[in-house]
Structure 1
């Protein structure tokens, strides 16, 4: 018999075999390795935030609901909306074709409405999925820019000795992050941010302040899946610092690496979609869709 519900409400919730079934979905759908699974299930996983699709006692699909807030513009004023981020929507390959993802999305709507959530958001894993989610009530809402650089090979400046990446803890990073993000932005809870920090470290990076001597240029969240590749999932500039200044400094610090840098969508050119929302409230309460909203660095 097919059933859909939160993991916390299932009789099998405390059964270790159920956890193994969830991990199987992560491995087969998202190619998660053991290190990632250990990090997620020790920090990020919560049964009350995990929707599962079961056929008898076998979990065939899952969807995660992460609480957050959206700080948006409504009628010319800043307003906070209770929100949830839909993460890790997955169906086992052998169960494809049974519309399990669509059924999970419908169940997520019901759960979130009962919880008083005003909007759901998600980041499609690939461009082709935007149409899939659009048919289910979502609209493009968040944007970003993404720049790609080949290895520099050598520094263009004669002296880069003053440049450094200063590792910082989440407790040090977070106040800077909140101060520097655009006005229209997602605000994450502590649990999600703790997992994001762990994920960055797991993949060879972490949270940093980019320094030039004693001066802070920016904060950044860096991943290094490969030694020769640097991905800056978040870069937020201190006042008075130009993008070009921060970008060149990072490239000088990673001369032999390909560098990918994600930037906020405040520049109206060269923006690409980075996320969608589904609004549950009255149309007159919906936040303004400026296509400038920022979905911070994590969980894509």
Structure 2
């Protein structure tokens, strides 16, 4: 018999085992999540014959429209089924239940970031649509060094506290369709970045503020998970980030509407599903517009 409920205090050990099986993260990363971010009231579990078999987390967020209206939303995170119970429809059952729960709690939209290309089709069958495109570029250190900027053109890069990062981020994305994060979620991203040897940053040049999220994968590879800045500042900022965080190659992610001159590929980063009438102009198309950016992966 299947049961779906929110997590209880004694459920963490089983959840950690599922996380390890499904995502393969190191124990230190898993422990960090459960000590710094985990909330029982945000975690839904599916039990099969009394055994925790599938799980997902409902993270609070909001979608902000170009005319600055907010849509109450949730991000579905860490969706996982124990390997011995996979291919039995448990994840579909849990996601369907979650959608009903979100409707009852007045959450108009749910968002998720598929962990692989194959999962886009799986979530599509559950009513989700591709959205929130990003531009992703692989840049070598040599390519960044070759970027020409004006002499003495520099910026100040400083670690940001989550509240100021979100404020800068919201200002830069004003007039776009985008996902706005809570300070708690951005705090968790800061922890992830710091554990890798980087941080979340505010960037200042000529009284203009920009922001970036970095993680160091290895000594040779850095990912700029989010870079939001005026287009005429991006060359300078990328060069200074590369100088501050030396590596052989960099993965750069920007909104699809910026960074075109760097090439790369534009791809859907997330998917969405409406659970209630979102009450926004019909010409706003989630499928072709919007920016999400951070998946806390």
Alignment match, 1:241: 232
**SS where residue 142 of structure 2 aligns?**
coil
In structure 2, the CA distance between the partners of 1:243 and 1:274, relative to structure 1 (3 Å rule), is same
Alignment match, 1:177: 169
CA-to-partner distance for each residue in 1:108-138, whole Å, 9 max, x for gaps? 1111111111111111111221111111111
Give the alignment of 1:218-257 within 5 angstroms.
Answer: 218-237=210-229, 239=230, 241-257=232-248
CA-to-partner distance for each residue in 1:181-235, whole Å, 9 max, x for gaps? 25211111222222111111112211123456x7667321100021211101111
TM-score (ref. length: structure 1): 0.86
The answer to whether the aligner puts 1:295 opposite 2:295 as a matched pair is no
Distance 1:31 1:211 in 2: 38
The answer to whether the aligner puts 1:29 opposite 2:22 as a matched pair is yes
Distance 1:283 1:112 in 2: 13
Distance 1:79 1:55 in 2: 41
Distance 1:124 1:163 in 2: 35
Report if the CA contact (8 A) 2:222-2:247 is conserved: no
Distance 2:27 2:97 in 1: 29
In structure 2, the CA distance between the partners of 1:68 and 1:143, relative to structure 1 (3 Å rule), is same
Give the alignment of 1:92-241 within 5 angstroms.
Answer: 92-152=82-142, 155-156=145-146, 165-182=157-174, 183-210=176-203, 218-237=210-229, 239=230, 241=232
Report if the CA contact (8 A) 1:143-1:272 is conserved: yes
Could you say what the CA RMSD is over the residues aligned between the two structures, in angstroms?
A: 2.7
What 5-or-longer segments of structure 2 have no aligned partner? none
Report if the CA contact (8 A) 2:144-2:238 is conserved: no
Report if the CA contact (8 A) 2:113-2:295 is conserved: no
The Cα shift of 1:263 comes to 0.4
Distance 1:194 1:96 in 2: 32
Distance 2:44 2:183 in 1: 21
TM-score (ref. length: structure 2): 0.86
Report if the CA contact (8 A) 2:154-2:240 is conserved: no
The Cα shift of 1:163 comes to 5.8
Distance 2:245 2:38 in 1: 34
Report if the CA contact (8 A) 1:2-1:56 is conserved: yes
Structure 1 residues 247-256 or 138-147, which shifts more? Answer: 247-256
Alignment match, 1:272: 267
Distance 2:131 2:49 in 1: 38
Distance 2:13 2:290 in 1: 37
Distance 1:231 1:174 in 2: 20
**SS where residue 217 of structure 2 aligns?**
strand
The Cα shift of 1:153 comes to 8.8
Structure 1 residues 95-104 or 264-273, which shifts more? Answer: 264-273
The Cα shift of 1:268 comes to 9.9
Q: Give the paired residue count.
A: 288
What 5-or-longer segments of structure 1 have no aligned partner? 8-12
The Cα shift of 1:5 comes to 1.8
Alignment match, 1:258: 249
Q: Runs ≥4 in structure 1, deviation > 6 angstroms?
A: 157-161
Distance 1:211 1:4 in 2: 48
In structure 2, the CA distance between the partners of 1:219 and 1:3, relative to structure 1 (3 Å rule), is same
